[in-house]
């Protein structure tokens, strides 16, 4: 079956799904505040996919989206998340993977993994985020975890401008350990606590990064924008 052109509306999606999925998707549309005639973009489709996955499981949700012609396959990619200690890397990953905001600070030991499913350009992208410990004492183990990344995120905290000054060091560590230059997106975290820092854009440009996106893992602001900025640079759809 062919892939739906962009601009598929909510009602067209409902019509193309197997009947047993209609109630789960209708619920998802309602919770997103979408009306039947509204065009659906990749962010909407991603949220609908997650809702359907929650009620029916990921395998069934994928099968249904495939049958409906919304997706035509799966793309897998690995991305690192690096930056100084306590800038909010784990919180960023947890919010993206589960929708929950993690209030407490628990130091990451070595590495953690989070899988993020999103719809992009007619494919289900399974992005595995490798959340690397930022504390200095993990500097010796961290290099083991970069191999095979298509790119990733470099995080600094907007309320601690000194963490922005560490970014060139992170770029060097990435290049040394991935073995080549890969796309990286600079994220300024905790936008809910502090305004964006204009110099971050210049630093991203000077270091030849893919872009700079200020984000808040508390409110969710710009999180998907950051992910899509990376996906469009590093995942071959």
Ligand X SMILES: Nc1nc2c(ncn2[C@@H]2O[C@H](COP(=O)(O)OP(=O)(O)OP(=O)(O)O)[C@@H](O)[C@H]2O)c(=O)[nH]1
Nearer to Mg ion, 122 or 152 (CB): 152
Contact 155, 96 (CB under 8 A): no
Q: Is 149 in the site for ligand X (CB under 6 A)?
A: no
Cα–Cα distance measured from residue 131 to residue 85, given in angstroms and rounded to the nearest whole number:
12
Q: What is the CA radius of gyration of the chain?
A: 19
Q: Is 90 in the site for Mg ion (CB under 5 A)?
A: yes
Q: How far is the CB of 219 from ligand X (least distance, A)?
A: 8
Q: Choose the binding region for Mg ion from 48-56, 83-91, 200-208, 228-236 (rule: CB under 5 A).
A: 83-91
Q: Is 102 in the site for ligand X (CB under 6 A)?
A: yes
Of the candidates 29, 46, 65, 91, which one interacts with ligand X according to CB under 6 A? Answer: 91
Contacts of 99 (CB under 8 A, 6+ apart): none
Q: Is 56 in the site for ligand X (CB under 6 A)?
A: no
DSSP state of 4: P
Q: Is 134 in the site for ligand X (CB under 6 A)?
A: yes
Cα–Cα distance measured from residue 2 to residue 67, given in angstroms and rounded to the nearest whole number:
10
Task: Tell me how crowded residue 119 is: count the other CB atoms within 10 A of its CB.
Answer: 22
Q: How far is the CB of 209 from ligand X (least distance, A)?
A: 18
Which residues contact Mg ion (rule: CB under 5 A)? 89-90, 108
């Amino acid at each position: 079956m062919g892939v739906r052109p962009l601009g598929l509306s909510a009602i067209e999606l409902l019509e193309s799904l197997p009947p047993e999925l209609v109630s789960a998707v209708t619920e998802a549309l309602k919770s997103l505040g979408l009306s039947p005639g509204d065009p659906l973009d990749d962010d909407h489709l991603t949220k609908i996919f997650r809702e359907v996955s929650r009620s029916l499981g990921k395998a069934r949700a994928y099968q249904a989206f495939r049958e409906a012609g919304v997706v035509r396959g799966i793309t897998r990619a690995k991305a690192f998340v690096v930056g100084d200690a306590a800038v909010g890397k784990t919180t960023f990953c947890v919010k993206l993977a589960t929708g929950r905001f993690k209030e407490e600070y628990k130091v990451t030991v070595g590495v953690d993994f989070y899988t993020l499913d999103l719809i992009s350009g007619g494919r289900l992208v399974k992005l595995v985020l490798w959340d690397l410990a930022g504390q200095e004492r993990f500097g010796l183990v961290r290099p083991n975890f970069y191999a095979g990344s298509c790119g990733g995120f470099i995080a600094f905290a907007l309320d601690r401008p000194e963490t922005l000054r560490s970014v060139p060091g992170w770029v060097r560590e990435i290049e040394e350990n991935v073995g080549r230059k890969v796309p990286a997106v600079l994220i300024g975290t905790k936008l809910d606590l502090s305004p964006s820092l204009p110099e971050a854009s210049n630093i991203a440009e000077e270091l030849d990064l893919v872009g700079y996106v200020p984000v808040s893992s508390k409110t969710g602001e710009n999180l998907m924008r950051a992910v899509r900025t990376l996906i469009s640079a590093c995942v071959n759809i």
